[in-house]
Structure 1
């Protein structure tokens, strides 16, 4: 399990300082990342080239970009799971992370998964149970609490992945393709939940390859040529809404099980 920073009592992640602007709870300054080429005679690939980003309490920021543009690399650096080659990241308070590839263990039940992450977050058993039941009801996976994770459909697995990131009531929530596999009802429930979180002051950054409902975001950036550019809505990756089918979870099509949840494998039943 990666070492995801959890806030100290004063609300500042160990080793980080937020400076004088208390409203900014996540700041990336001059972030650089280069991946070495597999061919020794070729130079490395500059994935991130001096990225600057600020996310304030109570706002939701979208980051879009083409496949391979470095979105997930940026997210992993922001959360502290990957070191940048240059620049710095400062975070204030508790951080929640919902990665594109889940951190769930296949042979644990859903309930055991919450116990594991709750212990990692330093939560009491009672606090874990309360948060788990509330999130399971909200995201509609309570009937699967005794299922092993490996038997969940893709949609239900993603619900649990998101709920684990919310378990400790984070001040900063980082979401990488969070609604992939969601059916339409769960997609709407996701946005209702994020609205409530931002109203309480949670800062949220959502990374996706496509954003169809611009009005849900305070700001949207496009990661292009290693840098973040604030989107004007005309560039790729940002849509203008549309029908429910068009503006659904990442504009993707998924096979559905009997409950309408997307399944990642035809042998999965939950």
Structure 2
């Protein structure tokens, strides 16, 4: 997706909030946007998400997109589950899968107990969990987060960190604004700052992307693989796993559990595919990992490439 000389103002003849913005957003990247309050960050995110149209320039190649706004309109005539199911239907899911996805995301963010609570009766944090959940229902290819962590409790905020790692590892582009400079620090592939209506590269660490985001995403998973004769391990594997020899031959790949499903897909769809001998948790004694269901995909042993 590209922004070509994009500008935005809110009335004819009014001042330009943004002007001449050029930006490329590649699949599988994490992009942070910073800037002063009122400087145009939210305006830029709304343009990226397709909520607003540019007044100058053009935007090309926008993929399937989901957006978490800075303010969620909680006073809507739905329960939490009803609203999410409705949004899932709008995003193209059938009613059953939409309700299942809604329940999954409410549970994941610790809000399963609010499923039947009207939105108007939810706390700010409860509404924010619904706002985040609605953006994840249909596995978007571009996820735009405008202060999405604000109002979330520590557990839900950490879960959103893990979700970001999962989505980036799975090839999604994630663009975010957050008031906390430590949020996903060092994990972004690129960071920009909105200044005087333009967009400039921001100082600070970048280049971590899916690997760095996954590294901070919690538990680790060990995948033991055997490659086809003479085949090299694919480059740029999701999660950037640590590599080492397996006790019985082959390779041992250690990756954040948030990225393990994306890693398995990459191995099994490589040409030629790799044989996955086992998937498990990291061994306490340095030996072979015991098969376990700690990763997102659960326990797998002896999976054949397909």
TM-score with structure 2 length normalisation?
0.63
Find out whether 1:140 has 2:106 as its counterpart.
Answer: no
**Aligned residues of 1:64 and 1:210 also touching (Cα < 8 A):** no
**Aligned residues of 2:4 and 2:22 also touching (Cα < 8 A):** yes
- Mapping 1:89-168, distance limit 5 Å: 89-168=59-138
Aligned residues: 204
1:183 CA displacement? 1.8
Find out whether 1:73 has 2:38 as its counterpart.
Answer: no
Higher mean C-alpha deviation, range 119-128 or range 225-234? 225-234
What stretches of structure 2 of length at least 5 have no aligned partner? 206-306
Q: Distance in 2 between matches of 1:210 and 1:224?
A: 18
1:231 pairs with 187, 202, 224, which one? 202
Q: Secondary structure at the match of 2:104?
A: helix
Task: Select the structure of larger CA radius of gyration.
Answer: 2
- Mapping 1:1-270, distance limit 5 Å: 26-36=1-11, 44-213=14-183, 214-233=185-204
1:92 CA displacement? 4.1
Q: Secondary structure at the match of 2:89?
A: helix
Q: Distance in 2 between matches of 1:208 and 1:71?
A: 10
1:178 CA displacement? 0.6
**Aligned residues of 2:74 and 2:120 also touching (Cα < 8 A):** no
1:91 CA displacement? 3.4
Q: Distance in 2 between matches of 1:150 and 1:189?
A: 24
List, as ranges, runs of 4+ consecutive aligned residues in structure 1 with deviation greater than 3 Å: none
Partner of 1:240: none
1:36 CA displacement? 3.9
Q: Distance in 2 between matches of 1:55 and 1:227?
A: 17
Q: Secondary structure at the match of 1:206?
A: strand
Q: CA offsets, 1:46-95, max 9 Å, x none?
A: 21011111111111101011111111111111222212111111234311
